[in-house]
Amino acid sequence: MTTTQKVVLLACGSFNPPTNMHLRMFELAKDHLHRTGKYNVIAGIMSPVMDSYGKKELESSKHRCAMVSLALKSAKWVRLDTWETEQTSWMRTRLVLDHHQQMLDNQSNMAALVKEAPSKKRRKDKQNEEVITNCDNKEACEPEQAPVQLKLLCGGDLLESFAVPGLWADEDIEEIVGKYGLVCITRNGSDPRKFIYESDILTRHQDNIHIVTEWITNEVSSTKIRRALRRNESVKYLVQDTVIEYIKEHGLYGTGDKKQSLL
């Protein structure tokens, strides 16, 4: 019987706000990896970037985390992780991956930790480590099974950004792609295979890059959602209703001074 590699998918981003396409990416990646017969996706993590990232129109991590949590209410195997937002400075993607891989590697110590009276910090660590213990496939989550591999879930735009001079350190790209691997969801007009071909580093690790084509095209983006909100246009069916209600309640993205129903 062939043993499949257990995988946890990590998506880093602003999630400003989280859209249905952010959620859809996890489903596409899971289906693709399962079809290979080599992988068993047991969990997913959404990790919002911290406030000092400095991106234009970036809402506070308090609001973004709340929206991600609401968006994931119906998701059985994807969860929010707030560790990145709690750091004192912006964290490179490689370091975020290193942190979560370490958390996954520490799963074998969970039984010993549970036996002790947990301190506040340990309760927080335990919450962050529950990514495996809360997954659907209980057999795959057993600590005595093979180690879990973390993979970075991203859109084609992130892969293309590797080619922007000075944006990524070569050693970070090497570590991200070589050690962890990418699951890249393509968008209309994007040709990720071309960027792999044009990069020596990506070509060297191309077997660790999974290109997933979204045939049911959906060009929803957080930027377009924010623009629609500023213009008092409906975003229903593009964003979870619970997130729309939160945006309306807190007056985010220029909606605070508008008497409107975003639903």
Asked whether residue 2 carries a pLDDT value surpassing 60, the answer given is yes
Asked whether residue 136 carries a pLDDT value surpassing 50, the answer given is yes
Ramachandran bin of 251, using left for φ above 0, alpha for ψ from -120 to 50, beta for the remaining angles: left
To 5 degrees, how large is the angle CA 23–CA 170–CA 43?
A: 25
Instruction: Determine the average pLDDT of the residues in 77-89.
Output: 96
Asked whether residue 258 carries a pLDDT value surpassing 80, the answer given is no
Asked whether residue 26 carries a pLDDT value surpassing 50, the answer given is yes
Q: Give residue-wise pLDDT tens across range 195-239.
A: 899 899 999 999 999 999 888 877 889 999 999 999 999 999 999
221 vs 224: CA distance, rounded Å: 5
Query: Are 125 and 97 contacting, i.e. CB atoms less than 8 angstroms apart?
Result: no
135 vs 47: CA distance, rounded Å: 17
| Pairing state between β 149-155 and 78-80 | unpaired
Asked whether residue 37 carries a pLDDT value surpassing 50, the answer given is yes
Asked whether residue 130 carries a pLDDT value surpassing 70, the answer given is no
Instruction: Determine the average pLDDT of the residues in 124-136.
Output: 52
239 vs 18: CA distance, rounded Å: 7
Name, in order, each residue with C-beta under 8 angstroms of 41's C-beta and a sequence gap of 6 or more: 7, 8, 9, 29, 30, 33, 34, 77
Q: Determine the pLDDT at residue 144.
A: 46
92 vs 89: CA distance, rounded Å: 10
Q: Determine the pLDDT at residue 124.
A: 53
Q: Which amino acid is at 90?
A: W
Pick the more confident residue, 251 or 136: 251
Q: Determine the pLDDT at residue 172.
A: 96
Q: Give residue-wise pLDDT tens across range 140-192.
A: 455 445 689 999 999 988 888 888 888 999 999 999 999 999 999 987 767 78
Pick the more confident residue, 114 or 244: 244
Predicted structure pTM score: 0.84
User: SS in 3 state form for the chain?
Assistant: CCCCEEEEEEEEECCCCCCHHHHHHHHHHHHHHHHHCCEEEEEEEEEECCHHHCCCCCCCHHHHHHHHHHHCCCCCCEEECCCHHHCCCCCCHHHHHHHHHHHHHHHHHHHHHHHCCCCHHHHHHHHHHHHHHCCCCCCCCCCCCCCCEEEEEEEHHHHHHCCCCCCCCHHHHHHHHHHHCEEEECCCCCCHHHHHHHCHHHHHCHHHEEEECCCCCCCCCHHHHHHHHHCCCCCECCECHHHHHHHHHHCCCCCCCCCCCCC
Query: Are 178 and 205 contacting, i.e. CB atoms less than 8 angstroms apart?
Result: yes
Q: Determine the pLDDT at residue 160.
A: 85
Instruction: Determine the average pLDDT of the residues in 112-118.
Output: 50
Q: Determine the pLDDT at residue 3.
A: 85
Q: Determine the pLDDT at residue 139.
A: 47
190 vs 251: CA distance, rounded Å: 34
Ramachandran bin of 141, using left for φ above 0, alpha for ψ from -120 to 50, beta for the remaining angles: alpha
Query: Are 41 and 33 contacting, i.e. CB atoms less than 8 angstroms apart?
Result: yes
Q: Which of 79-88, 160-169, 249-258 has the lowest mean pLDDT?
A: 249-258
